[in-house]
Chains A and B, each alone.
Chain A
């Protein structure tokens, strides 16, 4: 195996965490030699299926959010996928493997955690406290917002003061207005979402034109993804982004990482010595590589690979006599309510949930909801539902449990890494939260005028958030990395992606992942100075 010239920092993964880290580190320490290894290549926005007539069915095949579905359909040249065995998981893992990582197909809802999310053990006696606070992370949330470009409305009373989105909020549309009226009538908190979506054009990114299927890529570049936000700046500073390069091993000696082994597009293997190895392969990819490199587990209580959190959700859908514009607009970005976010023990559970009004399905996806029904009745159902529905997504807090985990097998997959599987089942507290949330969603939909309501708890294709498998903490027995992302066992390995979340909160994670990565890179930069 050929050995390459030694570098200062090897980063693995170019998604939310890896991109923010690379940019920040070189910005703060000019002259470092940094290479980011990314298993996928660059995506070409002109190839996104949203300009094709079969854009709806492509979401069920090569442009599915699920890597196993993409592989089963013959693969997608724009995502270098690996199979994830998920029989033991109630939720299917969703991700994208290319420059930009899962921000290529994410929905760009960009909320922050609440201050209480960082202290769930102290406040509510469950999970663990984060080793950092909201206040400590706040400046990094701000920097991340500036880089990504965020639309929203200042003054949300569900958060500490100071959030100032740069762009005006995404339009609500008739469905959003109707939901807002219902929230108002119930006296419940509701607010236009923070969205990493431009509502006015900026530089080479156009304003969102509300086309709808953000999860199949955004050809206007209105939706922030790190290939178009962080990466051009990081590359200009001098970071090398080595695409089509799968890291198969982290090499260690005498308690230190010495570099990585990677495989290029042709299958040739190289040794890349590095002073520091930074992992940003997401909650599955990072654990897979750490486990495959023999960095754990040391016992069946080992936190490495364990504590997988996936943010279980329910959809509650209401149907209306009047036409609504549900399928129009960025899919994750309409309204949210944090009325039930904080703990109220009278509800029979601890922690809480968000209610999110998301946009609706395309005609085909709406019709497929009715399978296995067929015949005229099924067709009538579709005609009652399409353009006449509103969906409330209930997203609950997710807490760490050792049995929810990423594991590897002895068999080697075709990318040179061990085969990987996940096990995940929600806890009883989550069941209670979800039930409460579905009741509230139903109350809201009735208030909005729905004449029929359908509940869908734990829909499988909702494993968007892959968190917690290399959790951050101060105790090496119960956490994998320290408060600066450094591995307790091997301090020159840093993890800067969703894996480090000690608990998950009840909001989407990417803005926190970016903020953490910026903070960790800033601290590492000080070590180099």
Chain B
């Protein structure tokens, strides 16, 4: 049987979080995403074959949750090898939930609010920097 803890454990195996590069520190996916969303994710039709393969490999949902971390990753690798496109779907759908989450955006030092209406500041430049390029003279092919 699939439950929150199975879905959360799969999610956290795929996206374990922690300290990354460039000072980014993110939570694991299983702790971040709410229960209802997580249940929908793990039951996604197009990912079904991969989820079943994980359950088969681990010997059920509870067994999967109780496996040591390295063995959980192995079970996912088996599912990935046998059901590539369903597994990719599982990963892609999780990425959408995770990398659009305000907490994750903030951890990556990006604003969690949408792009509009605020927009972003962008540094201008000194146009004289292009005078040297212009000074080279025409580079287009004069055909007359």
A357 interfacial by beta-carbon distance below 8 Å: no
Check A380 against B21 for contact (C-beta < 8 Å).
yes
Selected from B21, B84, B105, B127, the residue in CB contact (under 8 A) with A372 is: B84
A180 interfacial by beta-carbon distance below 8 Å: yes
Check B122 against A210 for contact (C-beta < 8 Å).
yes
Contact of A329 with B143 at beta-carbon distance under 8 Å, contacts A212-B115, A380-B21 already known: no
Check A191 against B100 for contact (C-beta < 8 Å).
no
Nearest-CB distance from A143 to chain B (Å)?
A: 22
Check A325 against B123 for contact (C-beta < 8 Å).
yes
Query: Contacts of B104 on A, CB cut-off 8 Å?
Result: 363
Stretch touching chain A among B9-17, B37-45, B58-66: B9-17
* A192 and B20 alpha carbons, distance in the complex (Å): 35
Query: Contacts of A338 on B, CB cut-off 8 Å?
Result: 139-140
Selected from A173, A378, A382, the residue in CB contact (under 8 A) with B122 is: A173
Check B115 against A211 for contact (C-beta < 8 Å).
yes
* A-B pairs with beta carbons under 8 A, tally: 187
Check A180 against B119 for contact (C-beta < 8 Å).
no
Query: Contacts of B108 on A, CB cut-off 8 Å?
Result: 363, 383, 386-387
Check A115 against B16 for contact (C-beta < 8 Å).
no
Residue-by-residue, is A41-78 near B (CB-CB < 8 Å gives 1, otherwise 0)?
A: 00000001111111111001000000000000000000
Chain A residue with the shortest CB-CB distance to B20: A383
A220 interfacial by beta-carbon distance below 8 Å: yes
- By CB atoms of chain A within 10 A, which of B73, B120, B140 has the most? B140
A456 interfacial by beta-carbon distance below 8 Å: no
Chain B residue with the shortest CB-CB distance to A373: B91
Query: Contacts of A48 on B, CB cut-off 8 Å?
Result: 116
Query: Contacts of B95 on A, CB cut-off 8 Å?
Result: 364, 367-368, 371
* A327 and B110 alpha carbons, distance in the complex (Å): 10
Check A53 against B114 for contact (C-beta < 8 Å).
yes
**Which residues of chain A from 348 to 407 have a CB within 8 Å of any chain B CB?**
363-364, 367-368, 371-372, 374-376, 378-380, 382-384, 386-388
Contact of A191 with B133 at beta-carbon distance under 8 Å, contacts A211-B120, A212-B115 already known: yes
* A75 and B112 alpha carbons, distance in the complex (Å): 27
A30 interfacial by beta-carbon distance below 8 Å: no
Check A171 against B109 for contact (C-beta < 8 Å).
no
* A327 and B17 alpha carbons, distance in the complex (Å): 23
B2 interfacial by beta-carbon distance below 8 Å: no
Contact of A379 with B20 at beta-carbon distance under 8 Å, contacts A51-B116, A173-B122, A191-B130 already known: yes
Query: Contacts of B124 on A, CB cut-off 8 Å?
Result: 171-172
Nearest-CB distance from A232 to chain B (Å)?
A: 22
Query: Contacts of A325 on B, CB cut-off 8 Å?
Result: 120, 122-123
A339 interfacial by beta-carbon distance below 8 Å: yes
* A387 and B24 alpha carbons, distance in the complex (Å): 11
Check A211 against B130 for contact (C-beta < 8 Å).
no
* A184 and B18 alpha carbons, distance in the complex (Å): 40
Query: Contacts of A208 on B, CB cut-off 8 Å?
Result: 119
* A172 and B123 alpha carbons, distance in the complex (Å): 7
Q: Tally chain B residues at the interface, Cβ within 8 Å.
A: 58
Check B119 against A210 for contact (C-beta < 8 Å).
yes
A323 interfacial by beta-carbon distance below 8 Å: yes
**Which residues of chain B from 8 to 53 have a CB within 8 Å of any chain A CB?**
13-18, 20-22, 24, 26
Check B141 against A383 for contact (C-beta < 8 Å).
no
**Which residues of chain B from 93 to 144 have a CB within 8 Å of any chain A CB?**
95-96, 98-100, 102, 104-105, 108-110, 112-125, 127, 129-130, 132-134, 136-143
Check A328 against B122 for contact (C-beta < 8 Å).
yes
* A379 and B13 alpha carbons, distance in the complex (Å): 12
A200 interfacial by beta-carbon distance below 8 Å: no
Check A363 against B99 for contact (C-beta < 8 Å).
yes
Query: Contacts of B134 on A, CB cut-off 8 Å?
Result: 155-157
Check B140 against A123 for contact (C-beta < 8 Å).
no
Query: Contacts of B122 on A, CB cut-off 8 Å?
Result: 170-173, 210, 325, 328-329
**Which residues of chain A from 3 to 22 have a CB within 8 Å of any chain B CB?**
none
Nearest-CB distance from B84 to chain A (Å)?
A: 7
Nearest-CB distance from A211 to chain B (Å)?
A: 4
* A374 and B99 alpha carbons, distance in the complex (Å): 13
Residue-by-residue, is A321-332 near B (CB-CB < 8 Å gives 1, otherwise 0)?
A: 001010111000
Contact of A115 with B143 at beta-carbon distance under 8 Å, contacts A173-B122, A191-B130, A209-B118 already known: yes
* A343 and B133 alpha carbons, distance in the complex (Å): 20
Query: Contacts of A157 on B, CB cut-off 8 Å?
Result: 133-134, 136-140
Selected from A212, A219, A343, A383, the residue in CB contact (under 8 A) with B120 is: A212
Check A173 against B142 for contact (C-beta < 8 Å).
no
A415 interfacial by beta-carbon distance below 8 Å: no
Check B142 against A57 for contact (C-beta < 8 Å).
no
* A372 and B95 alpha carbons, distance in the complex (Å): 11
Residue-by-residue, is A134-153 near B (CB-CB < 8 Å gives 1, otherwise 0)?
A: 00000000000000000001
Check B138 against A328 for contact (C-beta < 8 Å).
no
Query: Contacts of B84 on A, CB cut-off 8 Å?
Result: 372
Nearest-CB distance from A280 to chain B (Å)?
A: 29
* A209 and B114 alpha carbons, distance in the complex (Å): 13
Nearest-CB distance from B136 to chain A (Å)?
A: 6
Check A379 against B114 for contact (C-beta < 8 Å).
no
* A367 and B101 alpha carbons, distance in the complex (Å): 13
* A360 and B134 alpha carbons, distance in the complex (Å): 27
Selected from A176, A219, A363, the residue in CB contact (under 8 A) with B117 is: A219
Nearest-CB distance from B108 to chain A (Å)?
A: 6
Chain B residue with the shortest CB-CB distance to A190: B133
Check A367 against B99 for contact (C-beta < 8 Å).
yes
Check B120 against A209 for contact (C-beta < 8 Å).
yes
Selected from A189, A374, A383, A384, the residue in CB contact (under 8 A) with B15 is: A374
* A384 and B21 alpha carbons, distance in the complex (Å): 6
Nearest-CB distance from A18 to chain B (Å)?
A: 28
Query: Contacts of B16 on A, CB cut-off 8 Å?
Result: 375-376, 379
- Interface contacts beyond A184-B132, A371-B88, A387-B22: sample of 6 additional A-B pairs, CB < 8 Å, sorted by A: A55-B115, A211-B119, A364-B96, A379-B16, A382-B99, A386-B110
5 contacts between A and B (CB under 8 A): A171-B124, A342-B139, A368-B95, A375-B13, A380-B20
The 10 closest A-B pairs by CB, nearest first: A209-B119, A383-B20, A211-B115, A383-B24, A210-B122, A171-B122, A116-B141, A364-B99, A50-B116, A328-B120
